[in-house]
Amino acid sequence: MINESRADLLVEALPYIKNYQGATLVIKYGGHAMVDEALRDRFAQDVALLRFVGFNPVVVHGGGPQIDELLKTLKIDYHFVEGQRFTDEATMNVVEMVLCGRVGKDIVSRITRAGGGAIGLSGKDAGLIKAVRKRLTKAPVETDLSPEIIDIGLVGEPVKINVDLLRHLTSGGFIPVIAPVGVDEAGVTYNINADSVAAAVAVALSAARLILLTDVPGVLGPDGQLIERLGESQITELKRSGGISGGMLPKLDCCLSALRGGCKSASIIDGRVAHALLLEIFTDQGCGTEISANANVPSSSEKIPGDLSVS
């Protein structure tokens, strides 16, 4: 017996496949989807399928748990400052070893086994990610004092992306898999937040979409329920009221930064769901929260496939 519901899903995907033809999708890969064996293979299959149907996926990956694991094995002490990993030279060596080696190569291998032509890169390759040292400041208790500068070591932020390299690879049918390690003009290596790198890459490539995989269903409101669509004004109000806090704040800021820089759409999705990427891109309901730079978004939670095709 023919299962019509499966056919309906394929038909539902049609406008998205049509409107995203030739478009670039930047995907930040992290969280539980990176440590669960089955989800790792599902992610690789999703990325390969996106390439097969005419998209240009670019993957930026994290690797925090894997870095922690190796630091513990090597008996190297580590700590966090204001939510950021303090990165000295010993830690930076481990970060580079894990992200550019073990983690990056595993992702490349899985996508390749799924049929995609993945290539692993770090920010050092052809000057892919130029970075500057990140400076954290803390407001003083007394208003007449200067802000306190907080040292977080070799932590950087991206300032320039080698667009030509990425376009050369994607136009040749390859899938870049990027480790968030960058260098400055003096050749100093920096550990960079993967969300920040993904946003910078999305802006540099004028990507059709930026998608961040997380360990939650998406952006949750004060009532704990998923907010399926959010505009900038709603985000501002939720921040003001305390309705959004913690680790979701920097992710939202990355999305808004990408949208303001020319990326057409951004989403925060639940990476714990098998084939979350396909569900988000090819179905009306999606698999998380869609972010809009517009002050107002339609009240309907259903996505509207816009014309995101590229010439």
Q: How confident is the model at residue 305 (pLDDT cuts 50, 70, 90)?
A: very low
User: How sure is the predictor about 308, in pLDDT bands with cuts at 50, 70 and 90?
Assistant: very low
**Confidence grade of residue 112 (pLDDT, cut at 50, 70, 90):** very high
Residue-wise pLDDT for 6-44, tens only, equals 777 788 888 888 888 899 999 999 988 898 899 999 999
Pairing mode, strands 288-292 and 84-85: unpaired
The pLDDT of residue 310 is above 50: no
Average pLDDT over the chain reads 88
pTM above 0.85, yes or no: yes
Q: By three-state DSSP, how is residue 144 classified?
A: coil
Distance of alpha carbon 8 from alpha carbon 19, whole angstroms: 18
Q: Which residues pair with 289 in a beta bridge?
A: 268
Segment 239-294, tens digit of pLDDT: 888 888 788 889 999 999 999 999 999 999 999 999 999 999 998 888 899 998 76
C-alpha 220/C-alpha 120 separation (Å) is 33
Q: What are the extents of the domains in the chain?
A: 24-292
Q: What is the pLDDT of residue 2?
A: 55
Task: Write down the architecture of domain 24-292 according to CATH.
Answer: 3-Layer(aba) Sandwich (3.40)
pLDDT > 90 fraction of the chain, expressed in percent and rounded: 66
Residue 261, pLDDT score: 95
Q: By three-state DSSP, how is residue 167 classified?
A: helix
- For residue 32, the SS3 value is helix
Whether residue 198 is predicted with pLDDT greater than 90 in this model: the reply is: yes
Closest CA to 27 of 296, 218, 280, 224: 280
Residue 22 buriedness (CB in 10 A; 0-12 / 13-18 / 19+): middle
